[in-house]
């Protein structure tokens, strides 16, 4: 025992019994290092201590990056599972009308979007009572409408998947819900040789739900499955 003990016997015994606990405690080790520096005085420069501080800073940044990567991986996995569930639900109907209704209801709920509309171009645009019965999930337009809609705010050609905020709500696509939606994902569809193109438009009330910075791989995969299903129904 020291002639001038600074610690209580039980605390000293606990530290001696488990010194690794002290070494693994970042805040405790930082306090010990700070106390050691103060004991040396201000006229001593500890280069090793400075190097350790820089290493600690780099380690903190590395741990933050590690956590961000893990969070992104979990988010991507959750998004993948979400799209897979939506596709499985989309493949269940055995009637074309049920297939379209499922797109606007259960698929939209699974993907957590507020509105999904299927846009099909046709050379004959007319009011069809059968379309009205689908609850607005299907919109029929004249040729060229899709390309015009996708490029109205840009000079570049239309992409397979377009994510953007909604600045000019289009009631032709979203119906009476247009004014409530703030962002959209537009998925172009190739319906096969000799057929005009189609498009799926997903609308969300959150302006940050669909932004150009987000990845589009999962949405492109969903569009690929959907267009192949549409080819089957239209054949």
pLDDT of residue 1: 44
User: Rounded mean pLDDT of 53-66?
Assistant: 79
| Separation in Å, CA 224 to CA 41, 99, 215 | 69, 16, 16
**Alpha-carbon gap, residue 12 to 10, rounded angstroms:** 5
3-state helix, strand, coil in the chain (%, to 5): 55, 15, 30
Domain annotation for the chain: domains and CATH numbers:
9-62 (no CATH), 69-234 (3.30.450.40)
Q: What is the pLDDT of residues 95-116, one digit of tens each?
A: 999 999 999 999 999 999 999 9
**Alpha-carbon gap, residue 124 to 119, rounded angstroms:** 14
Q: Which residues lie below 8 Å from residue 38, measured CB to CB, with a gap of 6+?
A: none
Place of tokens 């209580």: 8
pLDDT of residue 16: 79
SS3 of 95, please?
coil
Q: Whole-structure pTM over 0.85, yes or no?
A: no
Q: What is the pLDDT of residues 4-42, one digit of tens each?
A: 556 677 777 877 787 777 777 777 777 777 776 666 666
**Alpha-carbon gap, residue 187 to 208, rounded angstroms:** 18
Query: What is the residue-wise DSSP string for 32-53?
Result: HHHHHHHHH-TT---HHHHHHH
| Separation in Å, CA 199 to CA 111, 120, 139, 159 | 17, 7, 10, 11
Residue 120: CA count within 13 A, CB half-sphere: 20
- Asked whether the predicted pLDDT for residue 76 surpasses 80, the reply is no
Q: Which two tokens stand for residue 154?
A: 């840009």
């Amino acid at each position: 025992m020291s002639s001038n003990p600074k610690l209580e016997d039980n605390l000293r015994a606990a530290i001696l019994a488990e010194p690794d606990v002290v070494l693994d405690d970042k805040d405790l080790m930082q306090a010990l290092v700070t106390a050691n520096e103060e004991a040396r005085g201000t006229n001593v420069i500890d280069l090793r201590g400075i190097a350790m501080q820089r290493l600690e800073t780099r380690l903190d940044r590395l741990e933050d990056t590690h956590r961000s990567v893990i969070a992104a991986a979990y988010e991507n996995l959750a998004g993948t599972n979400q799209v897979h569930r939506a596709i499985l639900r989309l493949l269940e109907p055995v009637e074309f009308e049920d297939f379209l209704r499922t797109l606007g209801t259960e698929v939209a709920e699974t993907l957590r979007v507020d509105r999904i509309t299927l846009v099909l171009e046709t050379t004959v645009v007319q009011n069809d009572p059968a379309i009205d019965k689908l609850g607005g999930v299907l919109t029929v337009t004249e040729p060229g409408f899709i390309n015009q809609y996708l490029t109205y705010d840009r000079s570049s050609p239309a992409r397979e998947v377009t994510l953007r905020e909604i600045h000019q709500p289009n009631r032709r696509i979203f119906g009476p819900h247009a004014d409530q939606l703030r962002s959209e994902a537009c998925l172009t569809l190739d319906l096969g040789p000799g057929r005009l193109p189609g498009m799926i438009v997903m609308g969300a009330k959150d302006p940050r739900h669909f932004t150009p910075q987000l990845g589009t791989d999962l949405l492109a995969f969903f569009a690929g499955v959907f267009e192949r299903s549409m080819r089957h129904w239209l054949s």
